[in-house]
Amino acid sequence: MYPKDLRYSKEHEWAKVEGRRVRVGITPFAADRLSDVVYVELPKVGADVAFMQPFGVVESVKAVSDLYSPVSGKVSEVNEALRDRPEIINTDPYGAWMIVVEPRDVGELKQLMDADAYLALIGEQRS
């Protein structure tokens, strides 16, 4: 459920390095906590994002939450399918990625957690 090849933030985003790009989404834990996602606000292609700064918003029937970028850089892709079908975040958090970033400093990802550390974090939060 939490792939070992991804990096995870304490704000519950995941990051997957794909060559010179980083694909970003929210974790199954976050999707489950949000419950039924009804709206996602994402940046435009070409927008700049900054490490651990908000890049968008996800709204569910329970709450509105900021989305945080796990890496600084320029947005090269946005998952347009989420505009019309935001609920796919609940059923497929990894397939329902949000943005792809061309990072300025891929080294920032070293500040994120690996899968084991993230599982320990959410284990603590489930208590």
Q: State pTM to two decimals.
A: 0.94
* Integer angstrom CA distances of residue 103 from 21, 74, 99, 106: 6, 7, 12, 6
> Cβ–Cβ contacts within 10 Å for residue 74, how many?
15
Residue-wise pLDDT for 41-58, tens only, equals 999 999 999 999 999 999
Residues 6+ apart with CB under 8 A from 49: 43, 55, 69, 71, 72, 73, 74, 75, 99, 101
Residue-wise pLDDT for 70-126, tens only, equals 999 999 999 999 999 999 999 999 999 999 999 999 999 999 999 999 999 999 776
Domain ranges of the chain: 7-126
User: Which CATH number is 7-126's, of 3.40.50.2300, 2.40.50.100, 3.20.20.60, 1.10.10.10?
Assistant: 2.40.50.100
